[in-house]
């Protein structure tokens, strides 16, 4: 059983709205329980470069509403090497840090688990923070709700102009391996079609669907394309479709990095607070090599090993079918 007295927190991988509320919860829950707290800048890079600072409850004042992460984040190649891990461990020991909360995605968890197996005297706890919502062990990950709302807001605006000009828009959203944002945004905005990495939609079927929409007097059509769709990007698909669908003026919008930014939604603020609070309490209770998640509105603790092994992208067939029916 790990008894901890000094805890460090970092954010790693892609930034996600909700990371700041989570950092705040980690810092304040830790201090409330008598722990010393250290913030590590730029994820695992800060561990290797010894870029750390002591945190107090005031270090996290007025950050609940901020997107991004006050600790900054990075993708750090040297942490994948034995030497990198050894340097990170040396810096943690020098600071007498005995526990680590890592907020990030599956890459971050993979690094944390490898590190903790090598140096088991440092307890680790993962918090799922990624807009892609693609981690086993939590129904929702930090940032997914905010990112989806950002996408919806943008698509609503595009729908106005699409409708005014009888246009067909292909809108590319984030999701290299996961269509979670595309599917939720598609349902919320009444997209005529949703193209996801988990399912290959035949282009001929898409064209038939769009023709049927025009026959049914639709004045505009929106096709959402997750960036990991197997046909390529939205531009590639639009080029093919434009040749067959003459009745619409075809346009493409890539939403890009605006999807990562913005003030976290109420959902992500509460999720970040709950997961940060739970992560520290789990470490105090002696847990390590685990992640905290939310399932059926309850905190669930899953081993990192299981979370990473179970990791797979499942298509939510029922939601997909509903989206198709509701867009006739
Ligand atoms: P996102 O879902 O937003 O991409 P992520 O946590 O999956 O987040 P990655 O860039 O895959 O983002 O991983 C973050 C960091 O975790 C990497 O930059 C690297 O420092 C560390 N990491 C990833 N895989 C490993 C590994 N096999 N061994 C050690 N460290 C790793």
Same domain? For 226 and 270 the reply is no
Q: Which CATH number belongs to the domain containing residue 224 in this structure? A: 3.40.50.460
Same domain? For 246 and 304 the reply is no
Residue segments in the chain with a per-residue pLDDT below the cut of 70: 1-2, 311-313
Same domain? For 135 and 153 the reply is no
The reply to whether 137 falls in a domain is yes
Ligand 1 centroid to Cα of residue 111, in Å, is 6
User: Closest ligand 1 atom, CA of 105?
Assistant: 6
The reply to whether 135 falls in a domain is yes
User: Closest ligand 1 atom, CA of 85?
Assistant: 29
User: Closest ligand 1 atom, CA of 104?
Assistant: 6
Instruction: Please give the full DSSP string across 14-79, using - where no structure is assigned.
Output: S--TTHHHHHHHHHHHHHHTT-EEEEETTHHHHHHTT-EEEE-GGGGTT-TT--S-TT-----GGG
Same domain? For 115 and 173 the reply is no
d(CA 205, CA 210): 9
Same domain? For 178 and 285 the reply is no
Look-up of token digits 């599917």? 183
The residue segments making up the domain with residue 223 are 145-260
| Residues paired with 224 in a beta bridge | 171, 194
Query: Residue 4's pLDDT is what?
Result: 95
Same domain? For 198 and 120 the reply is no
Query: Residue 1's pLDDT is what?
Result: 62
Query: Residue 247's pLDDT is what?
Result: 83
Query: Residue 293's pLDDT is what?
Result: 98
Give the neighbor-by-neighbor strand order of the sheet with 52-55. 52-55, 36-40, 6-11, 99-104, 123-128, 290-295, 298-303
The reply to whether 197 falls in a domain is yes
pTM: 0.95
Pick the closest to residue 163 from 235, 217, 237 (CA basis).
217
Residue range 46-95, pLDDT digits in tens: 999 999 999 999 999 999 999 999 999 999 999 999 999 999 999 999 99
Ligand 1 centroid to Cα of residue 35, in Å, is 27
d(CA 320, CA 183): 7
- The residue annotated as part of the active site, out of 98, 132, 229, 268, is 132
Atom 18 of ligand 1: nearest residue by CA position: 75
Atom 26 of ligand 1: nearest residue by CA position: 111
Query: Residue 311's pLDDT is what?
Result: 67
Same domain? For 111 and 198 the reply is no
Q: Are the beta carbons of 105 and 304 closer than 8 angstroms?
A: no
18 dihedral zone (left: phi>0; alpha: psi -120 to 50; beta): left
Ligand 1 centroid to Cα of residue 108, in Å, is 4
Q: Are the beta carbons of 259 and 181 closer than 8 angstroms?
A: yes
Same domain? For 138 and 12 the reply is yes
Query: Residue 313's pLDDT is what?
Result: 65
Same domain? For 204 and 251 the reply is yes
User: Closest ligand 1 atom, CA of 14?
Assistant: 3
Q: How many domains does the chain have?
A: 2
Residues in contact with ligand 1 by the CB-under-6-Å rule are 12-14, 44, 75-76, 79-80, 104-108, 110-111, 114, 130, 132
Centroid of chain to Cα 44: 18
Ligand 1 centroid to Cα of residue 233, in Å, is 24
Instruction: Please give the full DSSP string across 156-187, using - where no structure is assigned.
Output: HHHHHHHHHHTEEEEEEES-SS--HHHHHHHH
132 part of the active site: yes
């Amino acid at each position: 059983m790990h008894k901890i007295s000094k805890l460090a927190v970092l954010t790693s991988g892609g930034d996600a709205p909700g990371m700041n509320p989570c950092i705040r919860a980690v810092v304040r829950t830790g201090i409330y329980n008598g722990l010393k707290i250290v913030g590590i800048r730029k994820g695992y890079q800060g561990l290797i470069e010894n870029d750390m600072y002591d945190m107090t409850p005031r270090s996290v004042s007025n950050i609940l509403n901020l997107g991004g992460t006050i600790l900054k984040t990075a993708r750090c190649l040297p942490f994948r090497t034995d030497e990198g891990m050894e340097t990170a461990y040396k810096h943690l020991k020098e600071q007498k840090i005995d526990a680590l909360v890592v907020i990030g995605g599956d890459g971050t968890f993979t690094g944390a688990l490898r590190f903790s197996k090598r140096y088991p005297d440092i307890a680790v706890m993962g918090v799922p923070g990624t807009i892609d919502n693609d981690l086993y062990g939590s129904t929702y990950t930090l940032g997914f709700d905010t990112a989806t709302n950002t996408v919806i807001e943008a698509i609503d605006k595009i729908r106005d102009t699409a409708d005014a000009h009888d246009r067909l828009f292909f809108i590319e959203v984030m999701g290299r391996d996961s269509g979670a944002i595309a599917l939720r945004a598609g349902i919320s905005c009444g997209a005529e079609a949703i193209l996801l990495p988990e399912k290959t939609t035949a282009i001929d079927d898409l064209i038939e669907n769009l023709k049927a929409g025009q026959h049914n007097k639709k004045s505009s059509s929106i096709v959402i394309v997750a960036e990991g769709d197997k046909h390529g990007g939205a531009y590639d698909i639009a080029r093919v479709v434009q040749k067959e669908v003459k009745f619409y003026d075809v346009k493409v919008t890539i939403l890009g990095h605006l999807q990562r930014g913005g003030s976290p939604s109420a959902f992500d603020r509460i999720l970040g607070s709950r997961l940060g609070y739970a992560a520290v309490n789990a470490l105090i209770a002696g847990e390590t090599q685990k992640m905290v998640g939310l399932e059926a509105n309850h905190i669930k603790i899953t081993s990192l090993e299981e979370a990473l092994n179970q990791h797979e992208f499942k298509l939510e067939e029922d939601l997909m079918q509903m989206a198709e029916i509701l867009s006739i």
